[in-house]
Structure formats: C-alpha cells, structure tokens
Amino acid sequence: MSIALIIPSAGIGSRFSETVKKQYFMLKGKSVLYWTMKRLLTSYSFDETIIGVSKDDYELVNKILLESDLNNFSKNIKLVEGGKTRAETVYNCIEATDTKYLLIHDAVRPFVTNKVITDIIHIGIDEEEAVIAGYSSRDTVKKIKSSGEILKTIDRNKIFIVQTPQFFLRDKLIKAYKLAFKKDIEVTDDSSAYELLGDEILSVQSDISNIKITTTSDQRFLDSFADVYLSDILKDDLGDSNV
C-alpha cells in the first residue's frame, strides 16, 4: 500500500487579496500553506507529498519548507509546476507519483480535522473506492437563473456541499482526467472528473469549519478560526520562525 498527498497550490486567488496569494497569507505568524501541510502531515504518514506550485512561487515555497518543521513530518516533499487551471495542476502532480492511492487537499483549507483526514483514507483503502469530504446542507437551497431570478426550491436533503480532502485510486483518477480533457469538460474538483467514469464515490461528513479561504472578507475571522481549529498544532509552533 502506498499513498501520496497532493496539494494544489498554484492558484492566484485574486478575490482574496491584490497583494498576496491566499495560500501564502500569514496566519498566526506562518503561511496558510504551512498550516494546511502541518495538519495533513501530522494526521497521516504519507509516502510522498507533492505540491503543485506556480513557477514564480518556487523560491517562496522552498523557503517555507526549509525554514519550518515540515520536513520533520515528511522527508519526501517535492514541488511540481502547476498548470493554467486547478485541474491541470492536479494532473501534473498525479503524473509525478506512482503510488496506488492519492489524497488531494486544497492548500487553502487549513482547518480540516485529523478525524476527517484519517476517516477518508481508511474508508478509501478498505473499500477500494473514491471518498470525498463534505457536509449536508443546513439551509434552504434554491435554483436560480444567471440573472438571479429564483426558479425553484431544491430538496436540501439531496444536497451535499463538497470539500476536500478527496481520496482516489491513482490509475482511475488519471483515466478520469484524461477523459475530461478529451471531452473539454471543465471540472471544479477532482470528484467531478471521477464522476465521468461512472464509478461509485463514497462520502464522509465533514463540517462547515473546513472552509476554503476564498475572499477578502474571509480575513476577518481567520485568527479566531485558527485559535479553535489549529489549537493543538499551534502549541507546537510557539517560538518557531515566521514562515
């Protein structure tokens, strides 16, 4: 059994800030990417970790790795050049590994819990199926037109808000992405590509706290979220350098 952790981190994130990419935003003295990686690497022992990075950010990410404790948790971390889209970045990362299994997680979801990470991996390996994180909708859901006009209410019991991490068998996800590229289908997450195969996808209940940092307004509550959801690993970083 072998499993690679893939973290796509090549996005621009223009909705978050005009001066800093959201994955490198400083949170409690360190970058969001650092906290995301530390949560993942302290939750499970991956055979290798692959980060999809914009070529312009190689130096910065190498600095984060060299001047932090992340290499204490994984001796096999490598950078792969990202593509023009998230899908291309993930595909480049997949091609850089030959492990049987993959766990893919957004660089800007630092508040995922240990339990969600390990539950997804264990279920995926036991069942030999794709597994994704998310949560059932708590709100009324409406279908709208592009103009914003309400069309109808959708049964929220049939709605699942999708997050990462997402677990896959590597060979199947490669096949799925090749099919998506061939058909010129835009996919917004990895499971969207996987659906093209018609294979089963299992789910694990996560929580709304596992947010994807996206817009400028998100900056207002990140410190308070970190105090709660990073409390265990924050203690380990007291006195570390600011990376």
pLDDT in tens, 79-135: 999 999 999 999 999 999 999 999 999 999 999 999 999 999 999 999 999 999 999
According to DSSP H, which parts of 27-169 are helical?
Answer: 32-41, 58-66, 86-95, 114-127
Q: Identify the DSSP state of 104.
A: E
* Confidence category of residue 219, pLDDT binned at 50, 70, 90: confident
pLDDT in tens, 8-35: 999 876 567 666 789 999 999 999 999 9
Q: What topology does CATH give the domain 3-236? A: Spore Coat Polysaccharide Biosynthesis Protein SpsA; Chain A (3.90.550)
| pTM greater than 0.75 (yes/no) | yes
Long-range pairs, 80-85, Cβ under 8 A, ≥24: 80/50, 80/51, 80/52, 80/53, 81/10, 81/52, 81/53, 81/54, 81/55, 82/8, 82/9, 82/10, 82/52, 82/53, 82/54, 82/55, 83/10, 83/52, 85/186
E strand or H helix that includes residue 147: none
Q: If you average pLDDT over residues 183-209, what whole number do you get?
A: 96
CA 130 to CA 128: how far, in whole Å?
Answer: 7
Q: For tokens 């049939």, what's the residue?
A: 158
* Confidence category of residue 170, pLDDT binned at 50, 70, 90: very high
Residue 60 has pLDDT above 50, yes or no: yes
Report whether 194 contacts 130 (CB < 8 A).
Answer: yes
CA 93 to CA 206: how far, in whole Å?
Answer: 25
Type of residue found at 204: V
